[in-house]
Structure 1
């Protein structure tokens, strides 16, 4: 049966126990859990960088760097003392200037995963910067595919969120050159922008929309919604329906993007990181919903729930 006719697989705790995350051994240090670079934030929305960066650490990444607009960098450094924070030139709108690509490429080349987009409000600059960075960096290489021909190394893997998605329809080539090494996390409106169609069309058949974009861009898609679909470039699909309405809150998507980036840095495959990230994000909301109530918990409160949700799965028990 063609892949595009196969129904999506339900994302459950049982499914995830069958695809366990890479675990550091007892002798490993923070280097073995991967380096994440979060390129995010702007003067109007500095919190996008903070939420996504904490998400990467809560998912188990070992080392964290944040690259953001210069005027907010000191504040983020104080808010998140665990991170190295680099300030970059700003646009008039308070975003990261597009000409930062060269400096960022050198920094990103030393990282395992790069997240671009949360809280970046100057769309034109974000689009140019994202394309420039994807073009400058070498594609990641997976030695599991062919150890002789494909030694470990190359560039980082990517998570693209929010503003970083805006230019992919007009110029897909930069992301396509990283085929199989990118996760994108659009909501229905952003997916409509990627397809050049009305949002209603995406909402009428989100699985078809996600498959179309995943195949064209050669990325793993996590299409967010009340049911979140995860789709690979070859059309395989999973669906998570276990979340709570309280997840539809400001900053929630930033936390998800950070969680996925942290899991990638630990060595999860792009599809595994997306599936686990969506589940952990949803389960964090469920834990808060039971303790606080179905509405009114904050995106930043999701973050502290992630380690416990991961531990519960590893131990083979249901999340509390």
Structure 2
């Protein structure tokens, strides 16, 4: 599991560890990991030019000591101090190693120096708030187009919220220490992090409020048939989606449900759509008992009725698309709601831009108010449960932003619910499989929704073996 902790959790763990270690050891561990990440990005050290942007906090100290190691490996290291206060021992050590240290003054402009090969962002650490100061903005503007390696987090992002408030660094690589932070997993801040590299510095951490499943986690959670299984013991999912106006939604919802993750799929809906479903998926049957329902995709004016009929059966339900407009409170059954930003904005009575600016806060709010698991679709889809725990999906490719992909996702989650997973696990495992299947189907090129459904089985086959 990739865990993302809060600033408070990290600081408490660092304090406990520093109490057991000699002074400066933790910073030296971080600096070493940072220096090796810079060398890896540059493809070597000797003769490379490195510019450190150094703030007043410990991130500036990490950058300075990394600069010492880089200078000893043959890099030409400059450090621009963006504050009158800097880590004094780090400054002295860098000067002793041959690095050049100058005070950056926004009124005088950038110091005279050759164009660097990389910029190390040691401006603001995990305690930073509210964007960047004028000196930092001017320093970054003086080196446009140079790759940036951020120390711990890109300076200026909301570390605990994943939000952006003002100017911020956009990194190519972020080197973080001890654990991931929420900003590494939650957009829009996560999009500013680039590739995130984790350096283990020996922290002992509590459970994280935000997680991201990894292949081993999915393998452990995925329901697998027992040797004596039959189609009913593996679970039956019902699909109420599609309409005469949107028949494709029904077909794609069924395609997601019929990927073999449960024992049987039942389709209940428009007769013309049912005929097309049976033609495309002859294994799908009609009405009968189910362990979970998928409702809403392409349902149009009938979505409210379909949702009410599904809820009457008292089994878990996945509520998507048109059916979301009929959710105004707690549904009375275990539920997964799967809105995109616009749909969640309508449900919460706010604007889409508000949701996109702070998806974590809004997903948590919706889960709490509606008493359901909320899957908020996005580049990093978020799955929030009413108790506040969140999982971020980091699989997928931009090509997955295609019509019908959400219909397939709803079917996948419904199958996992029917197979016995709790809503939080069903939503997060389904989202992970959906993104991984899109990546496999894409191979760097375009995909359509049907391709995603067809590649789910291959993703499952390649998951790690369970112990």
SS of the residue corresponding to residue 238 of structure 2 reads strand
- Name 2:340's counterpart in structure 1: 187
Matched, 1:305 2:447: no
Distance, in Å, in 1 between the alignment partners of 2:277 and 2:218 is 34
SS of the residue corresponding to residue 258 of structure 2 reads helix
Q: Tell me by how many angstroms 1:7 deviates.
A: 4.5
Matched, 1:27 2:228: yes
- Name 1:163's counterpart in structure 2: 322
- Name 2:271's counterpart in structure 1: 70
Q: Which deviations, in whole Å up to 9, do the C-alpha atoms of 1:152-194 show, x marking residues without a partner?
A: xxx321111001100213xx14x1x22xx11111111111011
Distance, in Å, in 1 between the alignment partners of 2:274 and 2:309 is 22
SS of the residue corresponding to residue 189 of structure 1 reads helix
SS of the residue corresponding to residue 119 of structure 1 reads coil
- Name 2:213's counterpart in structure 1: 11
Distance, in Å, in 2 between the alignment partners of 1:80 and 1:275 is 26
Q: Tell me by how many angstroms 1:128 deviates.
A: 4.0
Distance, in Å, in 1 between the alignment partners of 2:454 and 2:378 is 22
**What runs of 5+ residues in structure 2 fail to find an aligned partner?**
1-5, 10-159, 162-207
Distance, in Å, in 2 between the alignment partners of 1:26 and 1:15 is 22
Moved over 3 A (4+): 1-7
- Name 1:266's counterpart in structure 2: 419
Q: Tell me by how many angstroms 1:314 deviates.
A: 4.1
- Name 2:391's counterpart in structure 1: 238
In structure 2, do the counterparts of structure 1 residues 77 and 15 end up closer, same or farther at CA, with 3 Å as the change threshold?
A: closer
Q: Is the Cα contact below 8 Å between 1:68 and 1:85 reproduced in 2? A: no
Q: Tell me by how many angstroms 1:59 deviates.
A: 4.5
SS of the residue corresponding to residue 233 of structure 1 reads coil
Q: Is the Cα contact below 8 Å between 2:416 and 2:426 reproduced in 1? A: yes
Q: Which moved more, 1:69-78 or 1:25-34?
A: 69-78
Q: Which deviations, in whole Å up to 9, do the C-alpha atoms of 1:209-268 show, x marking residues without a partner?
A: 110111111111111001100111101001112310011001000010011011111111
Q: Is the Cα contact below 8 Å between 1:76 and 1:85 reproduced in 2? A: no
Q: Which moved more, 1:20-29 or 1:206-215?
A: 20-29
Q: Is the Cα contact below 8 Å between 2:434 and 2:452 reproduced in 1? A: yes
- Name 1:152's counterpart in structure 2: none
**Between structures 1 and 2, the one with greater helix share:** 1
Which of 357, 365, 371 lines up with 1:218 in the alignment? 371
TM-score by length of 1: 0.77
Which of 280, 285, 302 lines up with 1:79 in the alignment? 280
- Name 1:93's counterpart in structure 2: none
- Name 2:465's counterpart in structure 1: 315
- Name 1:48's counterpart in structure 2: 249
Q: Which moved more, 1:234-243 or 1:70-79?
A: 70-79
Q: Is the Cα contact below 8 Å between 1:214 and 1:233 reproduced in 2? A: yes
- Name 1:120's counterpart in structure 2: 299
TM-score by length of 2: 0.54
**What runs of 5+ residues in structure 1 fail to find an aligned partner?**
87-106, 138-154
Q: Which deviations, in whole Å up to 9, do the C-alpha atoms of 1:97-133 show, x marking residues without a partner?
A: xxxxxxxxxx4xx2101110112122xx322442354
- Name 2:118's counterpart in structure 1: none
Q: Which deviations, in whole Å up to 9, do the C-alpha atoms of 1:259-280 show, x marking residues without a partner?
A: 1011111111111111110100
In structure 2, do the counterparts of structure 1 residues 132 and 66 end up closer, same or farther at CA, with 3 Å as the change threshold?
A: closer
How many residues align structurally?
Answer: 264
In structure 2, do the counterparts of structure 1 residues 193 and 23 end up closer, same or farther at CA, with 3 Å as the change threshold?
A: same
Q: Tell me by how many angstroms 1:71 deviates.
A: 3.2
Distance, in Å, in 1 between the alignment partners of 2:262 and 2:233 is 9
- Name 1:131's counterpart in structure 2: 308
In structure 2, do the counterparts of structure 1 residues 46 and 159 end up closer, same or farther at CA, with 3 Å as the change threshold?
A: same
SS of the residue corresponding to residue 463 of structure 2 reads helix
Q: Is the Cα contact below 8 Å between 1:246 and 1:297 reproduced in 2? A: yes
SS of the residue corresponding to residue 33 of structure 1 reads coil
Q: Is the Cα contact below 8 Å between 1:59 and 1:263 reproduced in 2? A: no
